[in-house]
Structure 1
Amino acid sequence: METKILVAAHKKFQMPRNQKLYFPILVGAIYNYKQGINYQRDDEGVNISNKNPSYSELTAIYWAWKNLKNIDAVGLVHYRRYFIRKWHFSNLNNVIDEKNVEKLLSKYDVILPRKRHYYIETIYSHYVHSHHKEPLDATRKTIIKLYPSYLSSFDKVMSRRSAHMFNMFIMKKDYFDEYCEWLFNILGDVENSIDINGYSEQEKRVFG
């Protein structure tokens, strides 16, 4: 199985040694590239690198969707956040490897982090207490318009008190392609329906 796990980074940082599996990608490279950073840049090929301030690491996902070919599975982790085989203080020495990935994907289509539990708040209330409410409500309207069959799933997730967080995954390529088409269609519509010009730099990362 040919798998590439993208390691999203906005600067040079220590990376896993397994260069066959792990694929460092410089997100927002159109802004963040500096001499000596030899990671794959997200501003090459078909890309949305210029949207990195509002799309965050999704510019890496978009790049992989449009440019990575002839592979069986795609993953995303972050330069300081990885899937690990077993807890170890230095997680770079214990990150998931090809053997673990192939074993899991032989039984499952997608690998995700363990759920994070909030207990008191729902996913919706947690979000709107921390961020602007408008984008999340606009997302629901977009789902009604573009993917109405997903509305019950969206409402179900928003009412839960736990979720798979951190924007990390490893999934079979066919599912990855379908996911990206679904995701970026939704985000493109939401982007066209709200105005984030008055948002802080942090809040402008809303699409990510």
Structure 2
Amino acid sequence: MQLAIFGAQGYALGAYLALKTLYPRRSVTCFLVSKMGGNASFLGNVPVRELAEFAKELSEAEKHKIEILIATPENVQPEIEETLENYGFRFYKRMDSKRWAELMKLYHVRLGRFLPLSALPVGYHKPFIRIYAAKSHKDRPLKQNVSLPDYVYSLQVGAANCSVSISDIGDNRGEHISGKNGNYSELTGLYWIWKNKLCKDGSTEGNEGQYFGLAQYRRMLDLSSDDILRLKDNDVDVVLPYPMPYEPDIHAHHKRYLQDTDWNAMLQALQELRPEYAEAFPQVLKQQYLYNYNVILAKKSVLKEYCEWLFPVLERTEELSVPKGNERMDRYIGYMGESLETLYFIKNADRLNIVHTECRMYL
């Protein structure tokens, strides 16, 4: 049976690269999309086709000989299934975040990079963990009931811009930049964690025994009880989601979300404040992998150090942007945070013990 992949972004490319490496005898006929739009014509030398055009070329019998792997964000997969049915395709399967992460784990283990947390031996000492899941009053309600682990706390971000309280904890308490949420997105939550948790004593165990992190209300690291026991005894510094691949590189990807003037402002901010990172950035941008979503779990000391590096760069970027950050609300700083997180942890990969796990998406 022929195989096609529905999707033409990071999920789809990641699935293709993993399948090509792990199952080389299984070839992919094409990538499918609803509309070409800004999608590339080829991914990995495999053509990207519009579904309507592709379906028109096939008989009903031929459609039944094609299996379609839906490799897109999960929230759009039900609609894609309905569209495939309408075009006469009957054999399709969803690639949910759990399956995608499992495939990425096998792929990266084969290539010897982006070490999975689950590859480490299970320890005996449970660390102190506190993850804050960013949630806004603008967020759509989840369709499924999600039972959060006892170490995950809901954090209302952008609370300063809203008269409605949706969480016991808001990012407008203590020292904060809650009012900038329209540009910083979930990063106003990370700023709040930095100033109000990382700069204070949170546990008697000491910094190296504590892990703090940021998640989103519908995206968070999937940590098993064994994974938690792996952290302290293996001296893990950082847990990140498996990075998303983009083609030809992540430099091309940022243009989908950021204006060139804003990007140049960020580059200038890096050059002024962190010239050694500005020097390393071009090489990082030439590789394929980007850490998405600003989701992270790290030792208290490591996360504090990262925040001390990140937020001055973002603040200076706001000052250099045209229009300036206080004159707009388009989440551009949040998108920049993903690129800067990628730069920081790739540059420090030899210094820090970085491991990876699934970033679970809830619908």
RMSD over equivalenced CA pairs, Å: 2.2
Is contact 1:6–1:76 with CA below 8 Å preserved after alignment? yes
Q: Which blocks of at least 5 consecutive residues in structure 2 are unaligned?
A: 1-126, 204-209, 335-363
Task: Indicate the SS of the match to 2:133.
Answer: strand
Aligned-partner residue type, residue 129 of structure 2 = T
More contact order relative to length (CA 8 Å, sep ≥ 6): 1
Of the three residues 1, 9, 13, the one matched with 2:135 is 9
Deviation at residue 30 of structure 1 after TM alignment: 1.3
Q: Deviations over 1:70-91 (max 9, x none)?
A: 241111111111222xxxxxxx
Inter-CA distance 190–103: structure 2 relative to 1 (3 Å threshold): same
Aligned-partner residue type, residue 16 of structure 1 = S
TM-score w.r.t. structure 1 length? 0.83
Q: Which residue of 2 aligns with 1:62?
A: 191
Aligned-partner residue type, residue 289 of structure 2 = S
Deviation at residue 124 of structure 1 after TM alignment: 1.3
Q: Which residue of 1 aligns with 2:211?
A: 73
Q: Deviations over 1:111-150 (max 9, x none)?
A: 00001111x2321111124431111222112111111111
Between the aligned partners of 1:51 and 1:141, the Cα distance in structure 2 is 21
Between the aligned partners of 1:116 and 1:8, the Cα distance in structure 2 is 21
Q: Which residue of 1 aligns with 2:331?
A: 205
Between the aligned partners of 1:32 and 1:80, the Cα distance in structure 2 is 20
Inter-CA distance 105–196: structure 2 relative to 1 (3 Å threshold): farther
Q: Which residue of 2 aligns with 1:18?
A: 149
Between the aligned partners of 2:262 and 2:233, the Cα distance in structure 1 is 37
Q: Deviations over 1:163-198 (max 9, x none)?
A: 221211100011111111110110111111112369
Between the aligned partners of 1:23 and 1:137, the Cα distance in structure 2 is 36
Do residues 189 (structure 1) and 316 (structure 2) align?
yes
State the identity as a percent.
30
Of the three residues 82, 86, 91, the one matched with 2:220 is 82
Is contact 1:42–1:63 with CA below 8 Å preserved after alignment? yes
Q: Which residue of 2 aligns with 1:116?
A: 244
Q: Which residue of 1 aligns with 2:355?
A: none
Between the aligned partners of 1:185 and 1:17, the Cα distance in structure 2 is 32
Inter-CA distance 175–116: structure 2 relative to 1 (3 Å threshold): same
Is contact 1:25–1:41 with CA below 8 Å preserved after alignment? yes
Number of corresponding residues: 192
Q: Which blocks of at least 5 consecutive residues in structure 1 are unaligned?
A: 85-95
**Richer in strand (by share):** 2
Aligned-partner residue type, residue 239 of structure 2 = I
Task: Indicate the SS of the match to 1:47.
Answer: coil
After the TM superposition, which residues 128-139 of structure 1 pair with which residues of structure 2 at under 5 Å, given as runs? Answer: 128-139=255-266
Aligned-partner residue type, residue 30 of structure 1 = A
Task: Indicate the SS of the match to 2:308.
Answer: helix
Inter-CA distance 200–47: structure 2 relative to 1 (3 Å threshold): closer
